[in-house]
Structures are given as C-alpha cells and as structure tokens.
Chains A and B, each alone.
Chain A
Amino acid sequence: MTQPTTTPARRFQLPNLSTLGPLIALLIACLFFTFQSDRFLTLGTFSLILQQASFVGVIAIAQTLIVLTAGIDLSCGMIMALSSMVIGKLAVEQGVPVPLAILAGFAVGAFVGWANGLLITKWKLPPFIVTLGMYSIVFAAVKIYSKATSVPMPADGLTFLAQRFTIFGTPFTYGSLLMVALFVLTWIFLNYTAPGRHIYALGNNQEAVRLSGINTSRLLLSVYTFAGVLYGVAALLLLERIGGASPEAGTTENLESITAVVIGGTSLFGGRGNVLGTLVGVLIVGVFRSGLTFMGLDSVYQNLITGILIILAVATDQFSRRKA
C-alpha cells in the first residue's frame, strides 16, 4: 500500500455532474420560460407546479428508494389508486370515520407493497416482473372493487391537504408542504441513518451487504412495504387533487415517477443517486408542463422534451460510470 492515490484529500468534494446536472437543467428551464412569458416567474406559478406535482412527487420518493436498491416498481400508481378507492369507499359510502378510512388505505398500500417485497426476496423474482404482474392484478382489483364507478368526495370531506397557507402573499397547499417535507425527511434518512446507508450499499453490491451481516431480505421487504405506505399518502393527495376516487387513476404514475427519478440523476442500476435530485426531476417536468402552457404550445412538446431529458440523464449516468 505504498502508492498514495492521486485524489487529493478534500473535506468538501464538489458534487459530481449527476448531482448538479438536474439543478442546472431546472434553472435553465426556468430562465427560458421567464424570457418567453413575463407571467411565468411568479410564486403563484411555483405554488401551482408544486401542487400539481404533489402526488407524483410522493410516489417518486418511494420509487427512488426502490431504484436505489437496484429494483423498480411498476405497480406504484395502481397501488395508489387502490388505496384511494379504499379510503373513498370507506369514508364516503360506508361512513367510516375519516382517520380510520385513511389508516385502512395506508394498510392496503403497505400490504400490496409487502407482497411485492415478499415475491422479490423469498421467491427471488426480478422486481420488474413482480411489479408488472402486480400492476395488472391491482388494476383488476380496483375495477372489481369499485364496479368501475368513481366515488366523488363531498365538498367538505378530506380537504385538509387542499387548505392553504400563505408565504409572501402566495397561497400554498398543505399537500405541497407535505410532499416537500417527505422529500427532506427521506433525504435525512438516506444520508444520516444506518438503514439509509444500507439501502445505498444494497444497490452497490447486495452480496457484500449480506456478507457483512445485514439481513438484506428484511431490508428489501421493509423498503417495498414502506413504499406501499407512501403510495397511501399519495392516494390522499390524489383524492384532494381530482376530488374523488377514480377507477381510471394510477395508469401513468409508474413511468412518470421513473422519469423524475432518472432525470433527478439516480442510476437505474442502483446504489447511486439522491432523493433531492428526484424532487428536482419532479419540478423539471412540472416547469415544462406549465411553461409550455404559458407559451400556448401543445402538450406533445412536453412529451418530446421529457423524452430528451430522460435520455440525457441516463447518458450522463452511463458516462460517469464508465469513467469510474
């Protein structure tokens, strides 16, 4: 061990491109739309973007945790839809007290997430296949359970997340605050707690983690179960957003959340990434959506740009890994 490495010892290392890249992309997008429309750069727009992004944002938190373990969850949106249907049916049609209905919704989300985790850890099936199958199963469950009809919320029910508080005269919803708070809490968990670091290690080298005496099955199982709970939280935000539980919900959130995770700089191979990058990824998609609307452009341009960003993000990840 006589050869010292060339990397100089630095207390604070500059974040690498996959961490900074998304933030730069977000700033450029904001600047661009500000020049295009002078109504764009307002706190009101920002508040709206946050509100629209909130339930996909919460799903994307769970998706980040799973992708960090080198897994993927295609059933996320459907679990959210099932959870929202459970909460809606119980609270509106069965007259169950709202807190109990919400708990039941969380429990259903946790159960389906746990089932995903069990199939992945005990039967050693690939996450892609397990969650693809679960997507279909839960899709059917939602349709059967709801008899393909939606449950509209009464005007006074479950609206606490839609209530607003004011910063600098601009109203923000508590739902947006909840999403941002969950991002920050998850970031602290991932970076400053032992289980958080083990999630990163799991995506790096599962065998090494197992050999170091960590129960990898239990860790993976808890990640998928906790993801299910987060889908329950997303269900609350969805109920508030669309004003009821819909049997048509949940079909696109898997790809939307993976988009946010990838644009945010988290590697699909696991073990590298940052949950705050995912928040930036969620915001980038939101900024393009509302920016293009302000410019009066069709939403297909949003698909075009999202596609380009995904490919750029994955290319950046690949190149930085090849260099390493």
Chain B
Amino acid sequence: MTAAAHLPVTPPGPQTARPLVMEARGLVKRYGHVTAIGGADFELRPGEIMAVIGDNGAGKSSLIKALSGALIPDEGEILLDGQPVHFRTPSDARRAGIETVYQDLAVAPAMTIAENLFLGRELYRGGALGRALKLIDRRRMLTEATEHMKGLQFAIKSMSQPVETLSGGQRQGVAVARAAAFAQHVVIMDEPTAALGVREGNMVLDLIRKVRDRGLPVILISHNMPHVFEIADRIHVHRMGKRAALLNPQKISMADTVSVMTGAIRPEDLSADVLAH
C-alpha cells in the first residue's frame, strides 16, 4: 500500500504537457496466418482515463494482453515513462507498476477484505524471524487496508469481514482498490462493470474516477458505451487489429463512436474537432 501513498497528487484530467506514461508503437502479433495485432499504436497520459473500445474480434484484448505482459508482441515497442520495456509475463508488468483488474471478480470469497487486498503481497512481522517464517502482520494489514479504503471513500465498516458477505459491486470494488493500492504507473481494467447491475456498476465507476483523481492513469476496456462516455477522458477505438481513431467523448456522439467502431464511418471522414489530441 505504500507505493501509491507516495505518488505525487496530480490534478485530475489529461496532462498534455507531461510525457506519456505508457506508449506502444507499431505492435504486431501473428498466430500463423491470423494477425491479432496489426501495427497498433497506443498512448496514455498521466492522470487520464483512456477507454479502449472495439467490436468483438477487433483485437483489443490482444492489445491489452501485450500491455499487461500476458502476450509477447512479435514486433513494435512498448515504452513506460519513456523507457522501453519488455514484459514476458504478467508478473513482469506487475513489477513495473502495472496492475490489472479482471471482469470475473478475481477475489477469494471466504477470505477477509484485508487478506484479499494483500493477497500475494502480505506484510510480514518485523525482525529476521518474521520474514524468514513469512509470519503475516494481521494488525498492520488491517490498519493499512482500512486507511486505503477510507482514502477511496469505500464505505465498508470492517476489513476483517469475508469478501463473500459483500455485494458483487463491492467485491469488484475490492479488486479495484487492490489494483490502485499496488499500481505505481498504470491500472488496466478489463470490463470491470460487465458482471454488475446498474447501481453496482455506477459504484465501481465512482471508484475508478477516484483512482484517477489520486493521480493513477487508467486504461478502461469496456463494451458499455454509457459507462465509457461517463468517465473516459479519451477514447481509443480499436478496429482490425489497430487503432482506428482517438476520439474526444466531449465532442463526438455515442452513435458516431459506434459507427467508427463498426466501420460504418471511416475515421478520415470525421471532422477534426471530434478527434482527441
């Protein structure tokens, strides 16, 4: 939890003046004759929510897998804070400060909220003995979990209650909070609201906004256009294995966005003011 706490607090919204947090140039991934990524570019600025949308089969999950280390691209490069990185596994990406939240509620239901937040990154008791025996420090984990959740205004009274006592939205909230706690650079959210109802989905959107407001840029993959338009600062439209357009949700309509996504409108035919810069 300490990493996020030391991040400089940046004002919300995209920061055009500062260098890109993450950038991908000309990514290519082929499986035999199938091209999953065909020269895709990607960029993410500090403090923004970048939505990634695309029709089924457009290759957006391949792009996200490349960014999160789950797939090794054949060509192209990925830059993190301007430095080239080469992720071979999701753990590599995690070590570089990129956390991913998955749609299927990746939590351990019978374990407490605090334990879920610290799963795989438990705090050990002090001293050589505590570290050697990997003795967990329950009290410190509980305190830090409570503090972290308070920072996100996540209203749950006890961090020592099992996650299964929570609603679906709150469970996803735990997963989001967990990613926010450990991500140093980027949080990737893969359809975080897909499994949730309307009210629950809004709860999670609120939380994502709070994560962004604390200075962490977010990559949001979603099929849900209202959700995308509600919180995205920019929209990356993925089509036929690459980026078709970068759109400004303040200017373009939802219908036109869907048309770009499905190919009914060619990006070249869009007026310049709906494009994001």
Q: Is the CB of A271 within 8 A of B110?
A: yes
Complex Cα distance, B162 from A194, in Å, reads: 17
Contact of B107 among A2, A205, A213 (CB under 8 A): A205
Q: Is the CB of A197 within 8 A of B136?
A: yes
In this complex, the interface size class of chain A, counting residues with CB under 8 Å from chain B, is 20 to 34
Q: Is the CB of A208 within 8 A of B107?
A: yes
What's the nearest-Cβ distance from chain B to residue A140, in Å? 39
Q: Is the CB of B108 within 8 A of A192?
A: no
Interface of A, helix, strand, loop or mixed by DSSP: loop
What's the nearest-Cβ distance from chain B to residue A241, in Å? 32
**Interface membership of A42, Cβ < 8 A:** no
What's the nearest-Cβ distance from chain B to residue A240, in Å? 30
- Residues of B149-207 contacting chain A, CB below 8 A: 152-158, 160-162, 164-167, 170, 173, 203, 206-207
- Residues of B108-142 contacting chain A, CB below 8 A: 108-111, 115, 119-122, 124, 133-136, 138
**Residue in A1, A194, A201, A211 whose Cβ sees the most chain B Cβ within 10 Å:** A1
**Interface membership of B26, Cβ < 8 A:** no
Complex Cα distance, B105 from A204, in Å, reads: 12
Task: Say whether, besides A1-B153, A204-B109, A211 and B161 are in contact (CB < 8 Å).
Answer: no
Q: Is the CB of A214 within 8 A of B161?
A: no
**Interface membership of B14, Cβ < 8 A:** no
Complex Cα distance, B153 from A324, in Å, reads: 25
A273 (CB) vs chain B CBs: closest residue: B110
Please, which residues of chain A bring their CB within 8 A of the CB of B29? none
Q: Is the CB of A211 within 8 A of B106?
A: yes
Q: Is the CB of A193 within 8 A of B136?
A: yes
- Residues of A138-195 contacting chain B, CB below 8 A: 192-195
**Interface membership of A212, Cβ < 8 A:** yes
What's the nearest-Cβ distance from chain A to residue B163, in Å? 9
Complex Cα distance, B108 from A315, in Å, reads: 22
Contact of B155 among A2, A211, A272 (CB under 8 A): A2
Please, which residues of chain A bring their CB within 8 A of the CB of B166? 5
Q: Is the CB of B156 within 8 A of A193?
A: no
Q: Mark A203-223, 1 if CB is under 8 A from B, else 0.
A: 011011101111000000000
Q: Is the CB of A201 within 8 A of B111?
A: yes
Starting from the known contacts A192-B138, A194-B134, A205-B107, 8 additional A-B residue pairs (CB-CB under 8 Å) come to A1-B206, A1-B207, A193-B135, A197-B122, A201-B108, A212-B119, A214-B120, A271-B108
Nearest 7 CB-CB pairs, A to B? Answer: A204-B108, A212-B120, A9-B158, A208-B106, A9-B157, A194-B122, A194-B134
- Would you list 17 pairs from A and B whose C-beta atoms are within 8 A, ordered by A residue? A1-B155, A1-B156, A10-B158, A13-B161, A192-B135, A197-B111, A197-B115, A197-B119, A198-B120, A201-B111, A201-B115, A208-B107, A209-B120, A211-B102, A212-B120, A213-B91, A214-B119
